Chains A and B, each alone.
Chain A
Amino acid sequence: MSILQTPGSDGRFGEFGGRFVPETLVPACQELEAAFADAWNDPLFRADLDQLLREYAGRPSMITECHNLSEQLGIRLFLKREDLNHTGSHKINNVLGQVLLAKRMGKKRIVAETGAGQHGVASATAAALLGLECKVYMGEVDVARQELNVFRMRLLGAEVEGVTSGSRTLKDAVNEAMRDWVASVETTHYCLGSVMGPHPYPFMVRQFHRVIGDEACEQMNDATGTSPDFVVACVGGGSNAMGIFSGFIDTPARLIGVEPAGGAAVSRGQPGVVHGMKSFLMQDEYGQVAEAHSISAGLDYPGVGPEHSYLASIGRAEYPTVTDDEVIAGFQLMSRAEGIIPALECAHAMAWISREAKNMQGKTVLMNLSGRGDKDVGQMMSILKDLA
């Protein structure tokens, strides 16, 4: 039996998950659960989605063997190239699925939260393609550090609203998107951007992203004849990690989800409930949700998807942390050694691999390069002043 769970109507992965939302949203979550189950089992829906993934997003994404870094680090390193998808990250997989589903459900409008802007850009893109109205909530701190993506969303026809409450980052953007959804639930689908939130989102978003792991498993078999020793991905909410982990969960591969030291829900959090789910959560002694602090807007989140909490609790996946300084070094390392500028989120995975390579000598390592770094170049210019 697979370790990959299909949650029942209680939406649980072990003790984690669930549906902790205001009564107003319960029927909408139930409707979405039923609609997703129906669509996922409908060959016509799957064919439509596969066609969009192939002809619009550019799937399958390839794997790239990193010969230079492999030699330098003493490992055999492969990248799963989600950065080459249309819109520049893995986020498009989930969004095409959800927007197609929203349309099938007769919704006219989607709302989305975004941190780094990648999910917002993907949502705006899919909404433009499929003719839905789109509003994106983004913390004001993130609006400032990701202004290129804000403009990109507006170019695509989406409305972007800066969120001024709380820490003014991803957590608060989720709150504001949920408040919008409470008021607009009859016409609007909440296009949640990670494997988090109330049931069925953690399950549904993982299913939309498992294409990453399914492809990678086959590609690694073709390239090496076996599964890798390590599968490494960064974790904020954890969608790219769940996507790639899905393909390797029943193999002997060690699954490594790298969290930022300032947003380490699994290693520094305790079980808690926020944003509709029970999961590991950084919080104070009274259960007030802590503010995350990460160089990367996409990982600046105090919680984590409930399936990650489950995988951590049963010991199937590990969740180490890296510091912002290690991330900056990882960002430069990949850029210079391989000619690939990674998203700052993925630079977390690179940073962990580079730090731990001494303990992985001769091993095969697959890293999910979940996004490209173009969006981070402006921010890095102010950090790497010597180069600017």
Chain B
Amino acid sequence: MTGRLEATLRSRIDGGGKCLVPYITGGYPGWVDAVRACAANGADAIEIGIPFSDPVMDGPVIQQASQIALEAGATPISIFQEIRNLDVGIPLAVMCYYNTVFHAGHERFANDLVAAGVSAAIVPDLPLEEAGEWCAAADAAGIETVMLAAPTAPDDRLPRVAERARGFVYSVGLLGVTGERAELALTATVLAARVKKITNKPVLIGVGVSNAAQAVEASRVADGVIMGASVVHRMIDGGSEAVGLFVAEVRSALDGATW
């Protein structure tokens, strides 16, 4: 069965458009307004980060936002409570490190997501071989588990990753952690093309997609982009208003391009 996240992205793709999924660190002061600003300015779905003490896939910007959120007292429970009242009208995915899930318990965490109205989960330190228990609980609860495809994956691995993915396949844009880069890495479109070849699921590029021009460049091959550090740095510097302007700018670039 196709879940809400995949259905929403697919309807954008089927309409000839490209998907835009901004990332916001949950619990950062003002984050709820930032999520609303994303939704109001053309995001197709929003990824909400659950801050973790040891975010090994994140670069300095998201690390800083996570640390500030934790110092402000954010917990998975407090973030879920705020998500429940959001009602932004588009699907939400949480991005969380595996210990947050494991510590809560797979079933309880999946049920907490459902109760909060979250559609999907991205767990960046849970590779295919370790994902069985979580995926079983998530599938049972109707939570879509997005899987990451990495540039280092050999050809025989990608189909298994894509097969297990729900919602979309997260095509990792470069060798490295989240953060803004001056240019889109060559590996970004190379990998996305490899993934597109072996799956019909939506393929979005994330990590190192830093501005509107790069979003367009990435979307020449992929079905859209996830934008994290570039959004979070605007939230830190300029709050929800800056986030809204940026998301609108990327949306307009994606909508204005010819594919």
Contacts and interface: CB of A to CB of B under 8 A. Distances in A.
Interface in A21-37: 21-28
A186 interface: yes
A273 interface: yes
A10 interface: yes
B176 interface: yes
A368 interface: no
Contacts of B127: 19-23, 26
A183 interface: yes
A62 interface: no
B57 A182 contact: yes
Contacts of B75: 286
A182 B179 CA distance: 13
Contacts of B99: 272-274, 281, 283, 287, 289
Contacts of A306: none
Nearest to B149: A23
Contacts of B86: none
Contact of B103 (A18, A20, A286): A286
Given A22-B124, A23-B150, A289 B176 contact: no
Interface size class of A (residues with CB under 8 A): 35 or more
A27 B177 CA distance: 17
Interface string A280-302: 01010011110000000000000
Interface size class of B (residues with CB under 8 A): 35 or more
Contact of B102 (A275, A287, A289): A287
A214 to B, nearest CB: 32
B63 interface: yes
A165 B153 CA distance: 29
Contacts of B53: 166, 288-289
Nearest to A9: B129
Interface in B163-191: 172, 174-177
A20 B148 CA distance: 13
A186 B174 CA distance: 12
Interface in B120-150: 124-130, 147-150
Contacts of A6: none
Contacts of B70: 288
B175 A182 contact: yes
21 contacts: A21-B127, A22-B150, A23-B147, A23-B149, A23-B161, A24-B152, A26-B127, A27-B153, A28-B152, A166-B54, A171-B54, A179-B56, A179-B59, A182-B176, A183-B174, A275-B56, A278-B102, A281-B99, A286-B77, A287-B52, A287-B100
Interface of A: 10, 18-28, 165-166, 171-172, 175, 178-179, 182-186, 270-276, 278, 281, 283, 286-289
Interface of B: 52-57, 59, 63, 67, 70, 75-77, 98-100, 102-104, 124-130, 147-154, 157, 161, 172, 174-177
Given A22-B125, A273-B98, 20 more contacts: A21-B125, A23-B127, A24-B150, A24-B151, A24-B152, A28-B152, A165-B67, A166-B67, A179-B56, A179-B177, A182-B57, A182-B177, A183-B174, A186-B175, A273-B102, A274-B54, A283-B103, A286-B75, A287-B100, A289-B54
